[in-house]
Amino acid sequence: MSDAVVFYTVTLIVYGVVDVIACLGLSQQFGVAGVTNFGFIIFQAAGAYTASVLSLPSDHANGGFQLYVGGLNLPFPLPWIGAAIVGGLVALPFVFLVGKRLRGDYVAIGLLVAAVMANLIVTNYRSFLNGAAGLSLVPSPLQSRLNPQSLRYQWGYAVVGILLALLTFWFCRRLTESPYGRALRAMRENDLVADSLGKNLRVLRAQMLVVGGAIAGLSGGVLVGFINLWAPSAWGYAETIVLFAAVIIGGAGNHLGAVLGAILVPLGFEEATRFVPAFGPPGLIPAFQWVAIGLLVVIFLRLRPQGILPERRRRLATPAAVSGLTTGDSLASLPLGRRPGPSHGRDRHDDVLEVRGVSREFGGVRAVDDVSFVLKEGHLTGLIGPNGAGKSTTLALLAGTVPVTGGRIVYRGQDITTMPAYQRARHGIIRTFQLASEFKRLTVLENLLSAVPDQPGESFMGAVAGRRHWRAAEKVHLADAAALLERFGLSAQSNAYAGELSGGQRRLVEIMRALMARPDLLLLDEPMAGVHPELAALIGEELLRLCSRGMTIVMVEHELSYMDRFCDPVIVMSEGRVLAEGAMTDLRRRPEVVEAYLVG
């Protein structure tokens, strides 16, 4: 190979490596966790600037022709490490934007605008990072000891770059293919439901911003060490769109797709145009590049939104041992049940939950108005009432999905009125939703597993620690899930996407998922709607068994026959208030109840 070819090849590899690393970061944020970071380029820029000012000598050197902060003259690899750290730290101010339950497109706009503004500020504030001219003469790593112009150095840079890209891939994969990654994908599919299962959305999103930012920062450090200069023109907001284009075209949610996209889009476009004979005025070919990237994004989203390599379905093998379980067995034989509550060792008829004068207003309308009741341990309490009586809102208030506007909620002696939903879930209060709320692009098994509390692999550090750290626990949870599926006759669908099931099956998945969370207090919103009566009866029996083992359950249901069969006591609501409470047989004799609900 001639020297020119080597330099070209190495340049290609380094650019490719930088794009691959950046796209992996974006794939982790956007493809896996659904965080729409349209300011992604800020983090790459932060990394590049950091690596520059850490490796550059003080700005008085070189005759002081450029101004910048820092100039610490640090040896390799500190500038790269610093690049990753600062890339992650820069993400922190944006946490408040993604931590809220803000519309995804609004978040995207906020971050996009932040990218434009960051560029504007750096461009105009010269003494910070030398303004529009940018930084040049950034030292190559180890240039005091090695000759950056030598072929061996060039090849060495390429190899180190490839290793870093592989390391990043390995890291993102480790995060994604773990219980932690499952929680991230659950959040992407439906953040409200993930919240109700005890996932801390704010923390998960913050972690994704920081991790993605650190990866982007690293890519910036690797780039600037090679090209030795960095300026605002290199990181316009539109560069983020190129990276998004790469991830979307490659396949969002599939890290291999991100790698493919990085090679096809940013690298492929840059290089393809080298072979186009120059024509037209200067700037024409880059303009066409941008147009082509725009077209690619729009066409792909229209015709193949899943990308070239779509997110693959995670098939989990279920342990064979549990297949001996027959439908005659009950859940009692399963290692399921409520988690050890704080009331351990007290009387069975303890008050689990006390609702005192709770209200909720929506725009001046009192959906729930001064509601009080007590839930006793081990009871299956029914909640009935006409449409709009406030039943679902009451459940939402108990679960913390919706905050109360008045009153108090006391759970096992602890005031939880202001406790956020995910924390209540972690204390054992688990709810289901009236509308289908399955995680569509998680398999049935993954849906079930996503609810298991205290999984060793569900924390960031647990995922980083690797499969060995969580494999044993996962095996146990898989066995539980498989047994539940067997029990409710959904084994054949274990590895189907939940979004592909029928309405009744989805309902079952939701109930099973709630059970996997080992609730102490289970709040079911119309669990039997759309479920075949035989199956509904089975569900009822199982719920009763769970109650007999100490679980407390509230069930909103319209079908009164189920109330008759399974629920005692039953609470009747009307116009946001509790109208009556008691055994169903008594309620049927009370005229005001019959008037308000049974007959109307």
Partner 1 sequence: MEIFLASFGFGLITAAVLAIAAVGFTLQFGVTDVLNLAFGAVMIAAAYVAYWLNQAGLDIWLGLLVASVAGAALSWLLNTVVYAPFQRRHASPIALVIVALGMTLIIEFGLQAIVGGTSVSYTMASGRTVQAGGLQLTVVQLVIMALAIAVMVCIHVLLTYTRLGKAMRATAANRPLARTCGIRSGRVINLTWLISGALCGCAGTVFAMNAGSFNATSADLFLILILAAVFLGGPGRAYGAMLGAIVIGLATEISAAYVTPSYKDVIAFLLLFVMLAWRPTGVLGAS
Partner 2 sequence: MSADSGRASRGGASLVVHKLTDGYDGRPVVHSVDLTVLPGEIVSIVGPNGSGKSSLLKGIMGEVPIHEGRVELDGRDITGFAPEDVVRAGVGYVPQVDDVFPPLTVRENLEMGGYLLPARQVSSRIDEVVAVFPALERLLPRRAGKISGGERKMLAFGRVLMLRPSLFVLDEPTANLAPRVAAQLLDENVRRLSSSGASTLIVEQRARAVLSISDGTFVLTGGRVRMSGTPDELATDPAFVESFLGGQTRASDTGH
Applying CB under 8 A, the residues found at the interface with partner 1 are 36, 38, 96-97, 100, 102-110, 112-114, 116-117, 120-121, 124, 237-238, 241, 244-245, 248, 280-284, 286-291, 293-298, 301-302, 305, 363
Between CA 343 and CA 181 the distance in angstroms is: 33
Contact 213, 87 (CB under 8 A): yes
Query: E strand or H helix at 566, and its extent?
Result: helix 560-566
Between CA 238 and CA 213 the distance in angstroms is: 17
Q: Which does 315 bind (CB under 5 to 8 A by kind): partner 2, partner 1, none?
A: none
State yes or no: residue 582 binds partner 2 (CB under 8 A): no
CB of 539 to partner 2, least distance (A): 12
Q: Which does 362 bind (CB under 5 to 8 A by kind): partner 2, partner 1, none?
A: none
State yes or no: residue 536 binds partner 2 (CB under 8 A): yes
* Three-state secondary-structure class, residue 276: coil
What mask, x for binding partner 2 by CB under 8 A, covers residues 541 to 560?
Answer: -----------------xxx
Going by their DSSP bridges, the two strands 365-376 and 380-384 should be labelled as: unpaired
State yes or no: residue 533 binds partner 2 (CB under 8 A): yes
State yes or no: residue 325 binds partner 2 (CB under 8 A): no
Q: Show Cβ contacts of residue 590 under 8 Å, excluding neighbours closer than 6 positions.
A: 580, 582
Q: Which does 413 bind (CB under 5 to 8 A by kind): partner 1, partner 2, none?
A: none
Q: Which does 102 bind (CB under 5 to 8 A by kind): partner 1, partner 2, none?
A: partner 1
| Cα separation values, 577 from 17, 122, 321, 358, 434, Å | 62, 58, 49, 10, 20
Q: Which does 245 bind (CB under 5 to 8 A by kind): partner 2, partner 1, none?
A: partner 1
State yes or no: residue 144 binds partner 2 (CB under 8 A): no
Q: Which does 6 bind (CB under 5 to 8 A by kind): partner 1, partner 2, none?
A: none
What mask, x for binding partner 2 by CB under 8 A, covers residues 488 to 527?
Answer: --------------xxx---------------------x-
What does the H/E/C string look like for 396-423? Answer: HHHHCCCCCCEEEEEECCEECCCCCHHH
User: Among residues 347 and 534, whose Cβ is nearest to partner 2?
Assistant: 534
Q: Exactly one of 423, 467, 561, 583 binds partner 2 (CB under 8 A); which one?
A: 561
Q: In what order do the strands lie in the sheet with 380-384?
A: 429-431, 521-525, 552-556, 380-384, 570-574, 577-582
Q: Show Cβ contacts of residue 305 under 8 Å, excluding neighbours closer than 6 positions.
A: 248
CB of 387 to partner 2, least distance (A): 4
Q: Which does 574 bind (CB under 5 to 8 A by kind): partner 1, partner 2, none?
A: partner 2
- DSSP letter at 596 equals I
Whether the bond into 569 is cis, omega within 30 of 0: yes
| Cα separation values, 62 from 71, 123, 520, Å | 12, 21, 69
Q: Which does 591 bind (CB under 5 to 8 A by kind): partner 1, partner 2, none?
A: none
CB of 187 to partner 2, least distance (A): 24
Q: Which does 476 bind (CB under 5 to 8 A by kind): partner 2, partner 1, none?
A: none
CB of 366 to partner 2, least distance (A): 11
Between CA 334 and CA 344 the distance in angstroms is: 21
* Residues in binding contact with partner 2, number by CB under 8 A: 32
User: Among residues 144 and 387, whose Cβ is nearest to partner 2?
Assistant: 387
CB of 285 to partner 1, least distance (A): 9
Binding to partner 2 (CB under 8 A): which residues in 169-208? Answer: none
Contact 213, 219 (CB under 8 A): no
| Cα separation values, 130 from 50, 219, 229, 575, Å | 13, 21, 11, 66
Beta bridge pairs of residue 581: 571
CB of 529 to partner 2, least distance (A): 5
55 phi and psi, to 5 degrees? -95, -25
577 phi and psi, to 5 degrees? -120, 160
Name the residues that contact partner 2, by CB under 8 A. Answer: 363-365, 386-388, 502-504, 526, 529-530, 532-534, 536-537, 558-562, 564, 574-575, 588, 594-596, 598-600
